[in-house]
Amino acid sequence: MESKTMKVNPILVKEREKATFNSEEFTNVFDGGADNTNIRRRLTDFFMNDERFDDNVPIEYLSYAERYEEALKRSCILFEKLIEWQQTHGDGIEIFRTVLGGNIADALIKDGMPLVINYTMFLPAIFNMGNIDQQAKWIERVLKMQIIGTYAQSELGHGSFVRGIETTATYDPKTEEFILNTPTLTSHKWWPAGLGHTANYAVVFAQLCSQEKCYGPHAFLMQLRNEETHMPLPGITIGELGSKLGLNGINQGFMGLNNVRIPRANMLMKSAEILKDGTYVKNPSTKKSNYGTMMMVRVILVKWTVCIALAKAVTIATRYSCVRKQSEMRPGEGECYVIEYKTQQYKLFPHIASVMMISNAALYLTQMHDSTKLDIHNSELDETIAEIHALSCCLKALTATDAVRGIEECRKACGGQGYLTSSGFPNLYSSTTAVETYEGETTVLMLQTGRYLLKMWKQANQGIKLAGLMEYYNTHASKTDIPWRNTFHNLNDAYKRVAIGLIRDTSLKIDCMMSSGVIREEAWNIYSNNLVLCAEAHCRSFMMDRYERLINTETLSQELRNVLTQLGELYGVYYLLKNFGYFIMYTNIQNEDISSIRDWQNSLLTAIRPNAIPIVDSFDISDKVLQSAIGAYDGNVYERLFSEAKKSPLNSQPVPAAFEKYIKPLKSRL
C-alpha cells in the first residue's frame, strides 16, 4: 500500500471510507498468512527501492537489442540482490521462488528475465532428475552462476508430446560418451528461455539409444558455450527466435546439434543410467522425475503469475472506473462514475472474485506439492503425486484462460485509455497469455486431467472408495431432489454434481464406442471435447470446495467472512449462468430457478460495490509493482497519463526530422 502522505484523489478517499472489513486481515488471507505478507512486503521494499531499477527511458521506446540488454542488466542486479538478501537473512533456495515467480521480478523486468529459467527449471531439473553425485557436482555451480542453464525439451516440430521428440543421444561405449544430434529441421530445440545468447549449459531431452535399442526420452546435462568466451562449442548452432507478442527479454532460442559428444556421467541418472558397457539400467519411474519439475513450474505459474496478473488488472480497472465519469444515468444530474453502471460491475467484479478463488486454490496446491516434492520417488505417494499432477494441469490451464479473458475485459472496461501501454494492460495481457501455451498448452493439459478423471471414475464404479480430492465421487453421483436454494453450500454441491455427471456420461460414451470395436485412443479423440469439459468442471468444483473451507475458517472475523462469501457466491453464480444447461441436467436446479439466480447475481454486484476499492487495495500491490498510469493508488489518472505521454521520444522536438525528410519534399513535388 502507498504512503498516506501522498496526494490522493478525494474520490478514492471516499471509496476507502466505505470499507466494511479490515484490509490487513484480507491481505493476510490473500497471502496465506501474516508471515507471508510480512516477507513479501520486506522483499518488495528491498528490491523496488533500488534506484538502479528506475526507468530512465521506458522500455517501450528501446530497440529490440536494447530491450534484451536492459533485461539482462536488470537480471544481473536482481540476482546480486538475491544473494545479498540470502547472506543477510539466511533464507534458503525457496526465496528464489518468492522473488522470481512473483510480482517483484515481473515489475523490475517487464520484458521477462533471460536468467530466470536457470532457477525455475534448470536447477529443479538437476534436483529432480540428477543423482546425489550429480547434484553435488552441479548445483553449487548453478547457484553461484558459474553455470547459466536452460531447459531444452521443446523442438521446432514437437512440444507437449515429449515421446515424439527427434533429438538423439547415442551411447558410444568405446569413449564412454553420448553423441547428440538433431537429425532433422523439426528436431532443432526451439523455445527454451535464455537459449539464444544467455545460457551456457542446458538440460537437453533426447531419445536415448544404446546397443542398437532406443529407450525413449531422457535428460542430459550439456555444455553449450565456452565458460570464458561464451562462444558456442563445436557442433552446436544457436540463435534467438526473434520478436514475439511479449516477453522479448527472455531471449528464447533455437539449437541444432551435430555429433556433439558429452561424457556418460552427464546423463541425469536418478531414474535410469547407462553402464560403461552400454547396458541400460532403470530405477524408479523416469516419468515421475520429469513430473517433479513440471509440477513445480505449474504451481508457481498459478499463484505467482496468473493470480497476480489478474489482481493487477482488476486493481487498475476498478480504481479507474471509480474516477472516470461517463454519460448521465439520470437526465440533468451530470455525468456519473463508470463504476456505478451495472454493466461495468459485471465486467469487473466476477474477476475480482476470481482472484480470491485462484489464490486460495493455488495456496492449497502449493501445500500439496511441497508436502511431496522431497519424496517424489516414494511409491507410497504415487496416488498423491498423480492427483497433484492432474490438478496442477487443469488448474494451470483453467486459471490462465480465465485470467487472460479477465485482463482483456478489464482493459476494454477502461475504454481507449486501456489501450495505452502506460495503462499496464498491454504488458499484462502479452505476458499472461503466454502462460496458456508454455509449460503445457491449455487443451493438452485439460485432456491429461480428463483421462485421469475417467480412470478414477472406473475405480469408483468398482467399489473402491476414493480419498483426497476425488472423495466427492463417493457422495455426489446421484441427482438430489431437494429444492434449490441460493446459498454457497448449494453452489458447491451443484458444481460437484455437474463434474460427476459430465465424467459419468463421458465414460459411458467412450465405453460404448470401445464396445463397438473402436480403439480407446480413437474413442478418446472423438470425445476429447467432453474430456476438456470434465476437467474444467472438476477444477471449478475443486476451487469451490476449497473456498467453502476458507469461508468457514473459525479465525475469520465475521465482517471479512461476509465479504469473502459474497465474492465466492459471485464466482459460483457467474460460471453457473454461463453453463446453466449442465446445471439443469445434473443438479436440482430447474428452469424456473434461473431467474432467481440471475437476481442473486445482480444483488451480489450491489453488495460488493461499496467494498470494491477496499478489496483491490487489499491485494496490496504497490504502484511500483502495478506500473499503471490509470490504476495508481492516488487515483490521479489524468495527471499521470499526461506525464507518461510527455515521455515519448517524438516529443523531444517540436518538428521531427522525418518532416524535413519525407513530408516537406512530398509537398514540393505535388
Domain ranges across the chain: 146-283, 446-465+487-618
Task: Look at strands 272-274 and 213-223 and give their pairing.
Answer: unpaired
- Average pLDDT on 1-28 reads 87
For the residues 573-600, what does the mean pLDDT come to? 96
pLDDT above 90 coverage of the chain, percent = 79
Through-space distance between the first and last CA atoms of the chain, rounded to whole angstroms: 58
Buried b / exposed e along 25-49 (16+ C-beta atoms within 10 A): bbbbbbbbeeeebebbeebbebbbe
Provide mean pLDDT across the span 358-374.
Answer: 85
DSSP E strands in 211-334: the ranges are 213-223, 236-240, 253-257, 260-263, 272-274, 280-282, 325-328
CB 330 within 8 A of CB 340: no
Maximum CA pair distance of the chain? 91
CA dist list (Å): 563 to 25, 402, 551, 553:
12, 22, 9, 14
Is the pLDDT higher at 295 or at 607? 607
What's the whole-number mean pLDDT along residues 597-625?
A: 98
Is pLDDT above 60 for 5?
A: no
- Mean pLDDT score, 62-69: 94
Q: Which of the four pLDDT bands, split at 50, 70 and 90, describes residue 12?
A: very high
8 Å CB contact between 205 and 199: no
Per-residue pLDDT tens for 488-504?
A: 999 999 999 999 999 99
Neighbouring C-alpha atoms within 13 Å toward the C-beta of 169: 28
Mean pLDDT of 509-516: 96
How does the average pLDDT of the chain come out, rounded? Answer: 92
Q: What's the average model confidence in pLDDT over 140-166?
A: 92
pLDDT at residue 329 above 80? no
* The pLDDT value given to residue 379: 59
431: cell is 505476458
Read out DSSP for 110-123? TT--TTHHIIIIIH
**Per mean pLDDT, which range of 119-128, 523-532, 593-602 is the poorest?**
119-128
CA distances from 383 to 231, 254, 377, 419 (A): 46, 37, 12, 47
Taking the CA atoms of residue 380, residue 385, residue 390 and residue 396 in that order, the dihedral angle to the nearest 10 degrees is: 160
pLDDT at 43 over 50: yes
Per-residue model confidence (pLDDT) at position 507: 96
Across the range 437-451, mean pLDDT stands at 94
Residue 607 has pLDDT above 60, yes or no: yes
Flag whether pLDDT at 510 surpasses 70. Answer: yes
The pLDDT value recorded for residue 289 is 56
Helix or strand or coil: residue 178? Answer: strand
546, containing H or E segment: helix 528-551
Residue 626 pLDDT > 80: yes
| Cβ within 8 Å of residue 587, ≥6 positions away | 479, 480, 484, 493, 494, 497, 498
What is the arrangement of strands in the sheet containing 236-240, beginning at the earlier edge strand? 189-190, 253-257, 236-240
Amino acid at 525: N
Rg of the chain (C-alpha set): 27
In this prediction, residue 4 carries a pLDDT of 46
Residue 6 has pLDDT above 70, yes or no: no
pLDDT at 3: 43
Annotated catalytic residues are: 439
DSSP element (H, E) containing 61 = none
**CATH architecture, domain 446-465+487-618:** Up-down Bundle (1.20)
Q: Average pLDDT for residues 114-131, to the nearest whole number?
A: 92
Whether pLDDT at 1 is above 50: no
Q: What is the mean pLDDT of residues 11-30?
A: 98
Distance CA 9, CA 640 (A): 12
Residue 240 clears pLDDT 50, i.e. is over it: yes
Nearest-angstrom CA–CA distance, 292 and 270 = 12
Mind listing the pLDDT tens digit for each residue in 256-312? 999 999 999 999 999 899 999 999 999 865 455 556 667 778 888 898 889 999 999
| Average confidence (pLDDT) over 529-545 | 98
Q: Is the pLDDT of residue 125 over 50?
A: yes
Q: State residue 377 phi and psi, 5-degree precision.
A: -95, 5
- Give the CATH fold of the 146-283 domain: Butyryl-CoA Dehydrogenase, subunit A; domain 2 (2.40.110)
CB 123 within 8 A of CB 149: yes
Phi, psi of 59 (to 5 degrees): -60, -25
pLDDT of residue 285: 52
CA 436 – CA 440 distance, rounded (Å)? 8
Secondary-structure percent of the chain, ordered helix, strand, coil, rounded to 5: 60, 10, 30
Q: How far is Cα 237 from Cα 405, in angstroms, rounded to an integer?
A: 38
